[in-house]
Amino acid sequence: MEKAVPHLSSRELLAWRGVLEVQTAILPALEAELRQSVGLTLSEFDVLYQLWRTPEKRRRMVDLARAVLVTPGGITRIVARLEERGLVRRDSTPGRQAVLTHLTPRGEREIAAAMDVHFDGVRRMFIQHVDRADIDRVIRLWTRIREASPELDPPAEPSHPSA
C-alpha cells in the first residue's frame, strides 16, 4: 500500500499525476513523430504554427515567446535554427526595438506537412480516447485553471497545438 500524501487526497493526487503522466507520455511521442517525419522538434513546430495561425504570418519575437511558452532566450535560439533552414525570416526596422519574425513560403510548406503529422498524432494519442462531452469539460477545466492562475497568461483562443 502506498503512503498517503498529507497535502492532497488520494483522488486529488491521482488527478494531478494523471496530467503529468499523460503529458510525459504523449509529448515525447508527438515530438518523435515530428522529428522522424519532418525533422522538427515540438518547439520548432510550435513556432511555425504560431506564425502560420496569424493572418499576416508574422509576430514580434516577444509575442512569439509568450505564445510558444518559452523564454525570450529560448525563442531566439529556436528562431535562429528555423532561420538557418529558411523556414522563417527575422526583420528589424531601424529605430524600433521590436524584431518581427515572418514565416517564409518554405516555412508554410513545412508547417503544412508537419500539421498533418502532428494533429494526426494528437487525434490518435488523445482525442480518440475522449468523448465529445469530456472534451467540453476539459476545455472548461483548463479555462478555469488558467483564469484562476495569475502566473498563466490566458490565451484569447487556443494557441498551443500540443495541449
Model pLDDT for residues 15-27, shown as the tens digit of each residue = 999 999 999 999 9
Cα separation of 154 and 156, whole Å? Answer: 7
Confidence of residue 116 (pLDDT cuts 50, 70, 90): very high
Mean pLDDT of 39-57: 95
Confidence of residue 6 (pLDDT cuts 50, 70, 90): confident
Residues in the chain: 163
Nearest alpha carbon to residue 57 among 103, 125, 18: 103
Q: What is the DSSP letter of 114?
A: H
Mean pLDDT of 107-119: 97
Q: What percent of the chain has pLDDT over 90?
A: 69
Nearest alpha carbon to residue 32 among 121, 113, 115: 121
63-88, pLDDT tens digit by residue? 998 898 787 788 999 999 999 999 99
Q: State the chain's mean pLDDT as an integer.
A: 88
pLDDT at 1 over 80: no
Cα separation of 163 and 160, whole Å? Answer: 6
Nearest alpha carbon to residue 105 among 88, 84, 124: 88
Q: What percent of the chain has pLDDT over 70?
A: 88
Three-state DSSP class for residue 92: strand
pLDDT at 10 over 60: yes
Q: Is the pTM of this model over 0.95?
A: no
- Is pLDDT larger for residue 153 or for residue 77? 77
- CATH tag for 10-125 (out of 1.10.3720.10, 3.40.50.150, 3.40.50.12280, 1.10.10.10): 1.10.10.10
Grid cell digits, residue 106: 518554405
